[in-house]
Amino acid sequence: METTPRYEVKGFFDPDTYTITFVVWDEATNDAVIIDPVMDYDPKASSTSTASVEQVAKFVEDSGLKINHILETHAHADHLSGSQFLANRFNAPVVIGSKITDVQKLFKTIFDLPADFDTNGSQFDVLMEEGKPLQSGSIKIEAIHTPGHTPACLTYKIGDAIFTGDALFMDDYGTGRCDFPAGSARDLYHSVQKLYTLPDETRVFVGHDYMPNGREPAWETTIGKSKANNPQLKGDTTEEDFVKFRETRDKSLSAPRLLFQSVQVNIDAGKLPEPHENEIRYLKIPVNVFRGAEQSGIEDPSQADLAEEVVGPPSSVNA
């Protein structure tokens, strides 16, 4: 019987956006991938910096690892992706789920992007689909389509571990929110049920941690612990109970502070907008986009609440 590989994992926690970037590697070959890197962004000065990705890059270089791919679980709405910095540093292709095209089509309208902005995912090097593994050196990467937070979310299965992005968080916290345009609490319920069919000992690495009750940051749990303890979605939680809870909670959450800056960069594979004739780059910030379809350009008013998990830890896991 073939043994499931167990790869080494190191997480890098970004306290500004509560994001965890992962480096995953095979000790036998030093083949490695990076998942969900962060480009630092100061919204007051509208300036970027590479402190977070430099930390990741230093670890990679000091450890003698070979980066074969940069993986994005989805188009994040709370931080700018650092994928292009690392792709250039390590000459590694950038990977995302194939349904990123749905997200690009939606936001091309919202941001009034140029007519020549492609919505076929061509900004990324690899578009992954469930059932079609990616060989990354000695590491086999499998994709599990886990929509709900966004329609394009992927969970990556690498050996005995999964990397869930914003689908499933720590077993004392819950799940990602679902009020992103084309998000769906019902879809997320079924996505997590897919994950819950994995062996209980499967390691789970989450994309964010909001440190409920003031505990230290954490990013590793298991499927068994999640099924037993997750306060929002246990193994025996019914679909209707979860959908009711998730939709109610989502209505109370604020949009993250980097929402508009992040999405327009991340649907372009982490590339900043091209400079204008004055050699300055500009990000677009739509006004009143949440006030209804007549002002937002969104055809379905029910989809006008656009955001990721609130930036900042709530007072409790059920807040």
* Domains along the sequence of the chain with CATH: 8-272+298-303 (3.60.15.10)
- Indicate the pairing of strand 80-81 with strand 38-42: antiparallel
CA atoms of 192 and 111, how far apart (whole Å):
31
CA atoms of 276 and 220, how far apart (whole Å):
43
Residues pairing with 81 in the sheet: 38
Average confidence score pLDDT of the chain: 91
Q: Is the pTM of this model over 0.85?
A: yes
Q: What is the pLDDT of residue 303?
A: 40
pLDDT tens figures, 201-212 = 999 999 999 999
Backbone phi, psi, residue 312, to 5°:
125, 140
Place of tokens 């167990």: 6
Tokens of 161: 């571990």
Place of tokens 């700018």: 80
CA atoms of 32 and 82, how far apart (whole Å):
17
Inform me whether the pLDDT recorded for 47 exceeds 50: yes
Band (pLDDT 50/70/90 cuts) for residue 290 is: low
**pLDDT over 90 for what percent of the chain?**
86
